[in-house]
């Protein structure tokens, strides 16, 4: 069992880290090509990315979990989940496309951009929103491939799409001189690469996923989203945190402060990806064992996942405390002393939260996989909306920028109690 766990988790960690790298690549290349205004613009529109990914994650992961559990119970209605998930993603994408076409400048302004930031970020926003269907459908395809026993292909899809984005970020932004628009194009096209690679599995003899047409059903969508909601909140929480922090930091430190937060937030995406890799690598195994009634196996995977998250969190914190100046310098092409000071302090304080966040991310996914929706939803809402907002406003009022950075670890610490309670309850059930 340990070998299977290592195989699934390692491949999913590679895939999720690869997925996080295209935002990090955007940040790096934009910092070199456009400077701090570019980083600020990117950070202001990141919540839109988060919302798109969150919807794709909720529908894709939720549908894939229902598919695996019902298939293992012998329910033939499971065959329509894949088509149904893709159809809903395409339908929902229309809203984002219309916003991208007609009011991208208003969206950037609504998210806190002044006139200079709006001019820098509006075309970037327009381009990536036009490709919303591909972002969402890529998430669905990847979730079904992973849950259909092909984690290697899911990993390759994510890694190669990210590699495409990084390479074409450079080509479009520098040799071709397209600036922010080039970064947007590279990012927007990358999920198409992921979908094409997933098709290798869908057209193979090993694939059990069927594209069985189905009429759109709100009832079935809600049924899938019930177990996918923790994935939604895990993704959207980054967006909510970004909006809240941007609003507070603009008041405390202006655009330079937001640029510093952009360094912290985008670096943290890689950390979150590591824990999402553990979560998404564990989830298919737990859903499979749970669907077959193998409760002790579920408990074993749960234990290995939690221990892995604690180990990775400790290594991350050690790395950031040691190399925070170097990480900051990579994105500070203008050598701004204020940006460096804010970012270095922010990285060290913010990353202490991952000792708790790792348990929360992994725990939420595991609770969803065993259909423990109540605890998964409560924890997701707490960490993604309630606790982070309360701590961000109260701690920043008391301690300024230091309070902003401490809000994340404080919120994750409080949320951990809900996760631990849910895991203990399910773990005791798994060992009966």
Evaluate if residue 131 carries a pLDDT over 90. Answer: yes
Q: Average pLDDT for residues 138-143, to the nearest whole number?
A: 95
In the three-class reduction of DSSP (H, G, I as helix; E, B as strand; rest coil), residue 96 is classed as helix
Is residue 241 a contact partner of residue 390, using CB atoms and an 8 Å limit? Answer: no
- Residue 431 confidence (pLDDT) above 60: no
Confidence bin at 432 (pLDDT 50/70/90): low
SS3 204: coil
pLDDT band at 284 (very low <50, low <70, confident <90, very high): confident
Closest CA to 111 of 183, 17, 40, 207: 40
Q: What is the mean pLDDT of residues 96-109?
A: 97
Q: Are the C-beta atoms of residues 360 and 415 closer than 8 Å to each other?
A: yes
Give the pLDDT mean for 193-205.
96
* Helix (H/G/I), strand (E/B), else coil: 370: coil
Number of domains in the chain: 1
Q: Is the pLDDT of residue 261 over 70?
A: yes
Give the DSSP H/E element, type plus range, for residue 334.
none
Taking the C-alpha atoms of residue 113 and residue 368, their distance in angstroms, rounded to an integer, is: 37
Averaged pLDDT score across all residues of the chain: 90
The DSSP secondary structure of 142-181, one letter per residue, reads: HHHHHHTT-HHHHHHHHHHHHHHHHHHHHHHHTTS--HHH
316: tokens are: 């991350």
- Report pLDDT for 115: 94
Domain that holds residue 306: 2-430
User: Do the beta carbons of residue 418 and residue 378 sit within 8 Å?
Assistant: yes
Q: Average of pLDDT values for 140-165?
A: 91
Is it the case that residue 280 has pLDDT exceeding 90? Answer: no
The mean pLDDT of 172-198, rounded to a whole number, is: 95
């Amino acid at each position: 069992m340990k070998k299977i766990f290592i195989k699934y988790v390692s491949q999913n960690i590679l895939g999720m880290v690869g997925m996080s790298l295209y935002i990090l690549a955007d940040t790096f290349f934009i910092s070199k090509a456009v400077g701090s205004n570019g980083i600020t613009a990117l950070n202001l529109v990141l919540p839109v990315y988060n919302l798109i990914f969150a919807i794709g994650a909720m529908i894709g992961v939720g549908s894939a979990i229902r598919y695996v559990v019902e298939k293992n119970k012998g329910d033939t209605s499971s065959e329509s989940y894949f088509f149904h998930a893709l159809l809903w993603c395409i339908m929902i994408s229309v809203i984002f496309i219309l916003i991208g076409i007609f009011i991208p400048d208003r969206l950037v302004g609504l998210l806190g951009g002044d006139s200079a930031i709006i001019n820098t970020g509006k075309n970037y926003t327009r381009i990536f929103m036009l490709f919303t269907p591909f972002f969402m459908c890529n998430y669905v395809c990847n979730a079904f491939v992973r849950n259909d026993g092909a984690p290697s292909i899911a990993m390759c899809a994510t890694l190669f799409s990210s590699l495409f984005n990084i390479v074409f970020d450079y080509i479009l932004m520098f040799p071709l001189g397209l600036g922010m628009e080039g970064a947007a194009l590279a990012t927007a096209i990358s999920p198409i690469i992921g979908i094409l690679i997933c098709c290798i599995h869908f057209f193979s003899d090993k694939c059990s996923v069927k594209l069985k047409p189905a009429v759109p059903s709100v009832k079935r969508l809600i049924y899938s989203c019930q177990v996918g909601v923790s994935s939604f909140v895990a993704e959207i929480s980054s967006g909510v945190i970004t909006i809240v922090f941007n609003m507070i930091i603009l008041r405390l430190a202006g655009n330079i402060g937001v640029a510093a937060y952009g360094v912290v937030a985008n670096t943290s995406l890689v950390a979150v990806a590591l824990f999402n890799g553990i979560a998404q690598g564990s989830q298919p195994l737990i859903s499979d064992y749970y669907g077959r009634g193998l409760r002790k196996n579920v408990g074993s995977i749960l234990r290995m996942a939690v221990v892995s998250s604690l180990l990775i969190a400790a290594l991350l914190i050690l790395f950031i405390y040691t190399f925070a100046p170097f990480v900051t310098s990579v994105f500070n092409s203008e050598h701004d002393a204020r940006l460096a000071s804010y970012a270095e302090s922010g990285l060290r304080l913010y990353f202490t939260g991952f000792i708790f966040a790792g348990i929360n991310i992994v725990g939420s996914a595991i609770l969803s996989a065993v259909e423990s929706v109540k605890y998964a939803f409560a924890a997701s809402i707490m960490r993604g909306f309630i606790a982070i907002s309360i701590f961000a406003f109260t701690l920043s009022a008391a301690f300024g920028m230091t309070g902003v950075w401490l809000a994340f670890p404080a919120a994750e610490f409080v949320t951990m109690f809900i996760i631990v309670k849910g895991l203990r309850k399910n773990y005791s059930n798994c060992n009966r």
